[in-house]
Amino acid sequence: MQFTDSHTHIYLEQFDKDRSEMIQRAENENIDRFLLPNIDLDSIDSMHQLTEDYKGKCFPMMGLHPCSVDADYKSVLEQMRLKLDENHYVAVGEIGMDLYWDKSFQAQQVEAFKIQIEWAKELDLPIVIHARDAFQEIFDVLDEVNDEKLKGIFHCFTGGEAEAQKVLDYGNFLMGIGGVVTFKNSGLDKTLKSLVPLEKLILETDAPYLAPVPYRGKRNESSYISHIVDKLVDIYEVTPQEISDVTEQNIDSIFKFV
């Protein structure tokens, strides 16, 4: 039985003191692949270093996080596009929109999102979408650019039934499920149970953020996938092995590891 943490920032400084031990703890919980979403230009070197240190286990993405979009976004994207042409990445991500903290660069977020979607189509890669307080704005973009080439992940999916149905309607998108599903009042468990088949899910932590119960509010890490699996076992009334079988098949169907 194996699992993949499909979205984890374990290259960040929060893990500098115990990174190897943290990865070992994850491996002890049968987590043998770690997909690394990029954030900005500053995160690229440490992400690449981790990929080198753990070849065949850590796999990088390339993209500009919406919270890092500012007036200089076009210059940043030009540099990231060069990286995409020089290296192998499993996805364009993490990209999308975040209107929770700051709306002053909303128009730039939209444009950066569209540009990176076109990269993914051109390179036949999935996109990994960050959506915070911006589901409708993201759907507006996807409705405009959706075609048979568009595929990807709604990372850290936290929407309700209406948002889940919209994602399902696109056809070529999966939902990344992390620690939020364990939160008592999130409502995500009810949305999944009523509407979303296991065949549309992959597992993630978003470490070091959004740790599941019983670690909520503390540093998240990839080994905590086990708590997400336990919750999905309860929701779908299946075994951990079935969660592994289905989610690993989902991962392999959308990401290209070679």
Kindly list the domain boundaries of the chain, sorted by start residue.
Answer: 3-254
Mean residue pLDDT of the chain comes to 97
Q: What is the pLDDT of residue 39?
A: 98
Query: What per-residue confidence (pLDDT) applies to 19?
Result: 98
What is the mean predicted confidence (pLDDT) over 232-239?
Answer: 98
| pLDDT score, position 152 | 98
- What is the spatial distance between Cα 23 and Cα 32, in angstroms, rounded to a whole number? 9
In the chain, the percentage of residues whose pLDDT exceeds 70 is 100
Mean pLDDT, residues 118-138 taken together: 97
Tell me the β-bridge partners of 131: 97
Q: Given pLDDT bands bounded at 50, 70 and 90, which one contains residue 135?
A: very high
Instruction: Report whether pLDDT(24) > 90.
Output: yes
Where in the chain does DSSP place strands (E)? 3-5, 31-36, 58-60, 92-98, 127-132, 152-154, 173-177, 201-203
Q: Which residue has the tokens 């290209």?
A: 256
In tens, the pLDDT along 2-17 reads: 999 999 999 999 999 9
pLDDT value of residue 256: 87
Question: Which residues make Cβ contacts (< 8 Å) with residue 16, sequence separation at least 6?
Answer: none
Q: Tell me what pLDDT residue 101 has.
A: 87
pLDDT at 138 over 90: yes
Mean pLDDT of 156-175: 97
- Distance in angstroms (rounded) separating the CA atoms of residues 44 and 80: 9
How buried is 5 (Cβ within 10 angstroms: 0-12 exposed, 13-18 middle, 19+ buried)? buried
User: Is 3-254 CATH 3.20.20.140?
Assistant: yes
pLDDT for 248:
98
**What integer pLDDT is reported at residue 139 of this predicted model?**
98
Average pLDDT over residues 21-27: 98
Q: How many residues can be counted in the chain?
A: 258
Residue 148 pLDDT > 90: yes
Mean pLDDT calculated for residue range 78-101: 96
Provide the pLDDT for residue 258.
Answer: 75
| Residue 77, pLDDT score | 98
Tokens of 16: 């500098």
Mean pLDDT value across residues 62-75: 97
Q: Please tell me the predicted confidence (pLDDT) of residue 158.
A: 96
Q: Mean pLDDT, to the nearest integer, of 206-227?
A: 98
C-alpha distances (whole Å) from 113 to each of 19, 52, 120, 200 are 31, 28, 11, 23
